[in-house]
Structure 1
């Protein structure tokens, strides 16, 4: 059996132990599944993604250990490159054979069942790298591709390292019109990220999205609401977190 580790938010741990890991991530091979990392002899390399993922998932993260059949089809590669489709055992062998496996990941193109989960454990929140494996000591790139709207502490980073081609924020009225006219989940998520660039008034205008059928929209909404203040934003986030735990 091939052993992997999946990093996720602590608030999702109870739901995962009860119903498994949903196939919510969109992989480079064009379908949804679950990202994970082989369990390596090095503790630091095994959990290397924790620090980077905290940029996208503020709060405490945990590690979900899982086992898959050796012949399970997966994709393996560096995050910035097109992955190779191999078996789970071959993916582990490929990553273990690298001189520097930082930035590598394995994509399982399906959901993970409860029977495949071994345990959920806490991990140090500062372990691993941020932005890119060789970023230490280098100025971070704050372009929209590298530092997307809604990223943790994005405003502080852009104040310190301004990006010359950063487009000006569009008026709220324009964004709300686009949001209400959006026909797909991807269009809604794009507008939500732009709304998350800075506080945009009352969160009650986004409340209707809390019941959206697409889990990615609900997850994005919960993240964007972190820049909103007030009881409405707080209650909406709590509602979304409870709903995620119950899935």
Structure 2
């Protein structure tokens, strides 16, 4: 039997002991399953993902769930960067343990079980102190962090101060709302597309926004402005966003309609 550890919120531990670990998306081609890591002789390497997973929020801290799988259970094994390229190796559970254990540096490696974990396969659960492991990527310590919109995590502790100290030339921090609204107003009616699209770029980094003042842009003659409006308001929790997107779903320009479909699919 091959032994692995799966890290999850401590609040999930009672359900896992009762019902096992549910399969979630995120595997190759959107496959559903469970990510885990072989139990090695080194506690630090076995629990290397603790600090990285803690960045995304937990309920009651993190728990380590030890699971036993049959040696011949099919799994995918590889470095986390292999996931995006779709080049993880399809091997048995026993072979995955052997490969990871013989690596000179197994940091960043992971094993994907393409199914749910049954209750009888859960060996034990225990609290996992979040004091070990790497963040962002192995060897990231001492490297200047990236503050672009794609790399940063919304709501992460200290993220606002980090962006203020090391602003990204394209991704902020964004100008205050009154400044952006002044730029939109100064752009005229219907408005200079370049100015409006730059303002919408900054508005898209907010969680809420002045929907009433921007709603008129849904009728702007430039389809690029209308498309950027879709991306800007898609993540807002401001009342009225759904109605605005519903209206833009019938836009005469295909790229605007495709943008609405994309943000709707993400929901």
Please indicate, yes or no, whether the TM-score normalized by the shorter chain is above 0.5.
yes
Q: Is the 8 A contact 2:56 2:153 kept in 1?
A: no
Structure 1 stretches lacking a partner, 5+ long: 191-216, 218-247
Q: Does 1:13 align with 2:47?
A: no
3-state SS of paired residue (2:129) = coil
Q: How many residues align?
A: 191
Q: Distance in 1 between matches of 2:77 and 2:261?
A: 27
Give the superposed CA RMSD: 2.6
Larger deviation, residues 171-180 vs 70-79: 171-180
Q: Is the 8 A contact 1:179 1:188 kept in 2?
A: no
Higher relative contact order, structure no. (Cα contacts within 8 Å, ≥ 6 residues apart): 1
Q: 1:222 maps to what in 2?
A: none
Mapping of residues 158-173 of structure 1, within 5 Å: 158-166=163-171, 167-170=201-204, 171=209, 173=211
Larger Rg: 2
Q: 1:30 maps to what in 2?
A: 30
Change (3 A) 1:103 1:31: same
Change (3 A) 1:121 1:132: same
Q: Distance in 2 between matches of 1:154 and 1:188?
A: 27
Q: Distance in 2 between matches of 1:13 and 1:47?
A: 17
Q: Is the 8 A contact 2:35 2:113 kept in 1?
A: yes
Q: Does 1:111 align with 2:111?
A: no
Structure 2 stretches lacking a partner, 5+ long: 172-200, 212-232, 250-259
Question: CA offset at residue 165 of structure 1?
Answer: 1.8
Q: Distance in 2 between matches of 1:84 and 1:144?
A: 31
Q: Distance in 1 between matches of 2:262 and 2:74?
A: 27
Change (3 A) 1:62 1:189: farther
Question: CA offset at residue 151 of structure 1?
Answer: 4.1
